[in-house]
Amino acid sequence: MRVSCAWLYAITKYGYPPSFENSLKAIEEMAELGFKEVEVEIVGDRQLSDFKKRYNEVGDLCDTLGVEVINLCAVFPGIVSLDNGLKSKSIEFFEESCRISERIGCGMIQLDSFAPPLKFIGDTPYKEAIGFGRRFYVDVDPGFSWNAFWANLVETFKRCSRISEDYGLKLCLEPRVGESISNTDAMLRLLEAVGSDNFGAVLDVGHLHAQKEIIPLSVEKLGSRVFYVHASDNDGRDNYHLPPGMGTVDWKALAKALDKHGYGGYIAVDVGGAGYVGDIDEDVASSKLFLDGLLAKMGLLS
């Protein structure tokens, strides 16, 4: 296993989403903190346009720094829409993101499941960057059908899995608090419904722990379908993304569970978020030291 850096670092430093220039700056700063593998993110059609024109700058910078992009997060909420026009356009954006991933040498692309089409009164999940300790109030439209929405979700991820596979990419999805796929068992259900070997899960420790999941059990359930790990800590009540070791997650048990199932991929430091208090550079660097030290002690650091 190797320790990489998640894009929440860039969001915390430069806002959501960071400009293209600040995205390049964030990659440089990740390298300065000692990371050799990083992820990047494309949010919406405007940022996609920037990446289409300037993706070679990302590749050139990574070559210069000796850094590899190992995951690209493609953020297009319309991809799960019941509006066929909006959904089709978002899937086009997703395919463009796959093309960019291939061109910069990235082997995996990530999607989210976003919030279902409910009427949120006040705050909406992930309207901007990740936030903590929020309460959501909703009205359910009498015409809303979960079964219809679920069928649409499954069809979308089947299509996206086929597209990503055509580009030689693995596709992963991160269960997140407040979204359509929010926990391990929902992820399992989607994986089974999609039925594609190149579609797997991002084990997001902070989100799952905040929902009081037993994280090693989540690994047992997902097994070889864990494609990627996002590492943050919290108290098991709110989905804070604190440095590993600053909350109540049992990191040794998690590493043992991952090793049991032959996981040899990346554990990404996923620290920060809206309103984050602390020195993000110091906290991300200390998180890498913590995880590197744990994995080395257990003989699992590659």
Asked if 1 and 257 touch (Cβ cutoff 8 Å), the reply is: no
Task: Return the bridge partners of 39, or none.
Answer: 71
What pLDDT sits at residue 125? 64
Q: What is the pLDDT of residue 137?
A: 72
Domain 2-297 class in CATH: alpha beta
Closest to 231 measured CA to CA, from 262, 207, 210: 207
pTM of the model: 0.93
Nearest to 216 by CA among 262, 174, 268, 258: 258
Higher pLDDT, 126 or 287: 287
pLDDT at residue number 286:
98
**Predicted confidence (pLDDT) per residue in 57-78, tens digit:** 999 999 999 999 999 999 999 9
| pLDDT exceeds 90 at position 133 | no
Which 3-state string (H, E, C) describes the chain? CEEEECCHHHHHHHCCCCCHHHHHHHHHHHHHCCCCEEEEEEEHHHHHHHHHHHHHHHHHHHHHHCCEEEEEEEECHHHHCCCHHHHHHHHHHHHHHHHHHHHCCCCEEEECCCCCCCEEECCCCCCCCCCCCCCCEEECCCCCCHHHHHHHHHHHHHHHHHHHHHCCCEEEECCCCCCCCCCHHHHHHHHHHHCCCCEEEEEEHHHHHHCCCCHHHHHHHHHHHEEEEEECECCCCCCCEECCCCCCCCHHHHHHHHHHCCCCCEEEECCECCCCCCCHHHHHHHHHHHHHHHHHHCCCCC
pLDDT surpassing 80 at residue 170? yes
Q: Give per-residue pLDDT as tens, 3-26.
A: 999 999 999 999 999 999 999 999
